[in-house]
């Protein structure tokens, strides 16, 4: 049985979970510049127009967990948040990005509609508590090192601050060296606690550090990972999307090409319709 998730209010325009439409958090892994970020946000928004999908633009202002010290990290907190603010205001799109330190949360909360807790930091109590104090929606990624059952403790940290605007994201589990695997059981297990659950189909096919000084990945498996997640109950989809993945400054080997987004969303909606129509089979 697929358990219905409670409604989470992102802002005045978008609500997720409950009876609300399927939602998509998508964009390049990292902000590569203002023009590129605007291009990606506008193109993904255009792709979603006319579809029963709520779109939230994602991009990191600082990738603090890159494999190599020499890897591009992004424009930084101040400039990156300003770019996200402009996208939010000019394109009327809600935005999500990740925080890595408690000191970033106050400034980030003034711009972001959803504050994201990175998978590597999903057990950092102070970070989760401070993010929850903002009363903003928070997207907590399940650590690669955690079982889905362990996320109940993470939820309780956020709930301790009276914040129930929680989204959980599955992004793969460590499977030996430099490899991840998506266990489909994770989605229904985490849905038992009643919060919306997202399948991160891009990071689930990542190979962390697999190329030595940067992460590898198998982008060809993004569609089936997304489809499998939706079939077992995911309420939303998280995707790294880039107009030219081979030139992406981060996660180029596990990013979906922009031109493949529309057919993937069409298949996702078809599968969700089938899932909703056949609830009795589960």
- The 10s digit of each residue's pLDDT in 204-252 is 999 887 667 778 789 999 999 999 999 999 999 999 999 999 999 999 9
pLDDT of residue 3: 77
Cβ burial of 262 (10 Å; 0-12, 13-18, 19+) is middle
Band of residue 17 on the pLDDT scale cut at 50, 70, 90: very high
Q: What is the mean pLDDT of residues 256-267?
A: 98
Is 279 or 226 the better-scoring residue by pLDDT?
A: 226
pLDDT band at 73; cut points 50, 70, 90: confident
Report the alpha-carbon distance of residue 115 to residue 101 in Å, rounded. 12
Q: Which one, of 8, 2, 268, lies nearest residue 155 by Cα?
A: 8
Q: Just give the CATH number of 19-277.
A: 3.20.20.70
Which residues share a beta bridge with 9?
15
pLDDT for the residue 74? 86
pLDDT band, residue 159 (cuts 50/70/90): very high
CA distance 63 to 105: 15
> What percentage of the chain has pLDDT greater than the value 90?
85
pTM of the model: 0.95
184 CB-near residues (< 8 Å, 6+ apart): 228, 229, 231, 232
Identify the pLDDT of residue 63: 81
Percent of the chain with pLDDT over 70: 96
pLDDT above 70 for 282: no
Query: Is it the case that residue 69 has pLDDT exceeding 80?
Result: no
pLDDT at position 209 is 77
Please state the rounded mean pLDDT for residues 97-107.
Answer: 97
Per domain, the residue ranges of the chain are 19-277
Q: Say what the pLDDT of residue 143 is.
A: 96
Q: What is the mean pLDDT of the chain?
A: 94
- pLDDT computed for residue 5 by the predictor: 84
pLDDT band at 124 (very low <50, low <70, confident <90, very high): very high
Task: Report the alpha-carbon distance of residue 205 to residue 279 in Å, rounded.
Answer: 28
């Amino acid at each position: 049985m697929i358990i219905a998730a409670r409604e989470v209010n992102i802002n005045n325009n978008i609500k997720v979970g409950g009876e609300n439409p399927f939602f998509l958090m998508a964009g390049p892994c990292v902000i590569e510049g203002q023009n590129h970020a605007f291009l990606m946000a506008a193109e993904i928004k255009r792709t979603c127009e006319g579809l029963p999908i709520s779109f939230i633009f994602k991009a990191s202002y600082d990738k603090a967990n890159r494999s190599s010290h020499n890897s591009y990290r992004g424009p930084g907190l101040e400039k990156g948040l300003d770019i996200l603010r402009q996208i939010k205001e000019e394109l009327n799109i809600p935005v999500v990005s990740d925080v890595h330190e408690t000191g970033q949360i106050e400034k980030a909360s003034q711009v972001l509609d959803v504050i994201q807790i990175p998978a590597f930091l999903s057990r950092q109590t102070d970070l989760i508590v401070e993010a929850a104090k903002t009363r903003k929606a928070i997207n907590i990624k399940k650590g690669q090192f955690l079982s889905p059952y362990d996320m109940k403790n993470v939820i309780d940290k956020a709930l301790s601050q009276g914040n129930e605007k929680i989204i959980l994201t599955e992004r793969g589990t460590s499977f030996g060296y430099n490899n991840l695997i998506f266990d489909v059981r994770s989605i229904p297990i985490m849905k038992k606690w009643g919060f919306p659950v997202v399948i991160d189909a891009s990071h689930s096919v990542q190979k962390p550090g697999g190329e030595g000084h940067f992460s590898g990945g198998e982008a060809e498996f993004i569609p089936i990972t997304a489809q499998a997640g939706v079939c077992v109950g995911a309420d939303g989809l998280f995707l790294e999307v880039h107009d030219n993945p081979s030139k992406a400054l981060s996660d180029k080997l596990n990013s979906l090409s922009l031109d493949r987004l529309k057919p993937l969303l069409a298949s996702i909606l078809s599968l969700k319709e089938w899932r909703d129509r056949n609830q009795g089979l589960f």
